[in-house]
Chain A
């Protein structure tokens, strides 16, 4: 079974600063996908960024970028120029490749609560 670990239950950052959220995972698969989801107080699950394991280049989406270290099984999220609207729970998630058995189920970590302060 794949496990996803987020070791930081809570984090805080000042507006306009940069923050990095950690995520490690355990798998014997070679091809898979990694995701970061944001869950604001509205409870909506919003896809922030997606990484395909066979791609060495780190994914970026505007102010959000990842540091994907496949050998270390690490997938951290960096938020630059933090904004008040970034306050939310952030979940790291793993999915096997769609050709694999159960290559459709997301395995989530327990989340990191991020607070952006003025």
Chain B
């Protein structure tokens, strides 16, 4: 079992470009969560998805950010028109059931906006 796979590991974007972050959950996991880690901070919840459904996106900025988890393929976190303040590490996690037992996290994508 390969674990939670995130790619790319590092992503550099110029201001105004789009960033697409991918997450493949562990085999058998249908619950996916995205978190953001700013420098010197803990992780902050962004969004919770199940296959084809967004369950809770209350942690996502209202503008420019979107997430999906299609029936086939990885979950995608998309940031349009990136700004310097979007620079952070973005982590994906998955679980076989909702919450409770702790997730398995991926290694994260470090986004740098220049």
Q: Chain A interface (Cβ within 8 Å of chain B)?
A: 4, 33, 35, 37, 42-47, 50, 91, 93, 95-98, 102-111
Q: Are A110 and B56 in contact (CB under 8 A)?
A: no
Q: Are A91 and B42 in contact (CB under 8 A)?
A: yes
| Stretch from B17-25, B43-51, B61-69, B74-82 forming part of the interface with A | B43-51
> With A108-B42, A110-B42 in contact, is A43–B99 under 8 Å at CB?
no
Residues of B within 8 A of A98 (CB): 97-100
- Bound-state Cα–Cα, A33 to B103, Å: 12
Query: What are 6 A-B contacts defined by CB distance under 8 Å?
Result: A42-B107, A45-B93, A45-B105, A45-B108, A47-B103, A105-B56
Q: Which of A47, A91, A110 has the most CB of B within 10 A?
A: A47
> With A105-B48, A108-B43 in contact, is A35–B105 under 8 Å at CB?
no
- Bound-state Cα–Cα, A4 to B44, Å: 12
Chain B nearest CB: distance from A103 CB in Å? 5
B 7-45 binary contact with A (CB < 8 Å = 1; else 0): 000000000000000000000000101010000111111
Chain B residue at minimal CB-CB distance from A43: B108
The total number of A-B Cβ pairs within 8 Å is: 72
Residues of A within 8 A of B103 (CB): 47, 106
Task: Report, as a range, how many residues of chain B touch the other chain.
Answer: 20 to 34
Chain A nearest CB: distance from B77 CB in Å? 16
- Bound-state Cα–Cα, A91 to B55, Å: 25
Residues of B within 8 A of A50 (CB): 101-102
**B89 at interface (Cβ–Cβ under 8 A)?**
yes
